Amino acid sequence: MMDYLVSTISPVKLLPSYLAAIAVLVISLVIVWKIKDDTIPDNVWAFPFLAATMIMILSETLLCREAGSEFQYIVKPFYSYIQLVKGDESRSGEIALNILMMIPFGLFLGIFISIDPEFWDFHLFQTVISGFIFSLLIELVQLISKRGTFEIDDMINNTIGALIGYLLALVLMRIKENMDRG
């Protein structure tokens, strides 16, 4: 699995995207810092991180790929899991990468939209749906632009990643809340 992850992620190809993400992050944080007052919610700092995360995901899934010559798609749900069970170990890296890349998305979106912790279940729904829609858009652009394979499993795994990220955000917000009280 680690070999797949290392061979799939190319730092040289992603350098422009990393720089763009860092620029968005720095500029956004400076803007947030400059306009910080009591009317801005405390969790607004998460937005620049969410934007930078989205740039990096879009770069890895779309911009750094060569266009193909045909539409590629796998619309059978849990296909990669079936292949993994049948012995195709490369699928474990693919599954892990699709889950891992969306954890920061779910984390920062969860923190950004979770102003009132009493509505965590509604924010969970919003985060999961947003993760699914973002993933669906990526898959559709991959299909149309022929820059990757449209896979239902990618959307499932990306949504799982967004969910894990949100749950991590919830844990972190609870820890912060307890530290503020204690």
pLDDT of residue 33: 64
The pLDDT > 70 percentage for the chain reads 77
Asked whether the predicted pLDDT for residue 6 surpasses 60, the reply is no
Answer yes or no: is pLDDT of 1 > 80: no
- Confidence check: pLDDT of 31 > 90: no
Give residue-wise pLDDT tens across range 161-173: 999 999 999 888 8
Q: How confident is the model at residue 152 (pLDDT cuts 50, 70, 90)?
A: very high
Q: What integer pLDDT is reported at residue 5 of this predicted model?
A: 46
- Residue 4 CB contacts under 8 Å (≥ 6 apart), including other chains: 90, 92, 93, 94, 97
Phi, psi (degrees; rounded to nearest 5) at 110: -60, -45
Instruction: Give the pLDDT mean for 46-75.
Output: 83
- For 132-141, how does the pLDDT look when each residue is reduced to its tens digit (9 = 90+)? 999 999 999 9
Q: In this predicted model, which residue has the larger pLDDT, 8 or 124?
A: 124
The whole-number pLDDT of residue 7 equals: 52
Placement of tokens 């102003």 in the chain: 115
Which amino acid is present at 157? N
Give mean pLDDT, residues 65-82.
Answer: 86
Where do the domains of the chain lie?
2-181
Residue with tokens 């990306």: 158
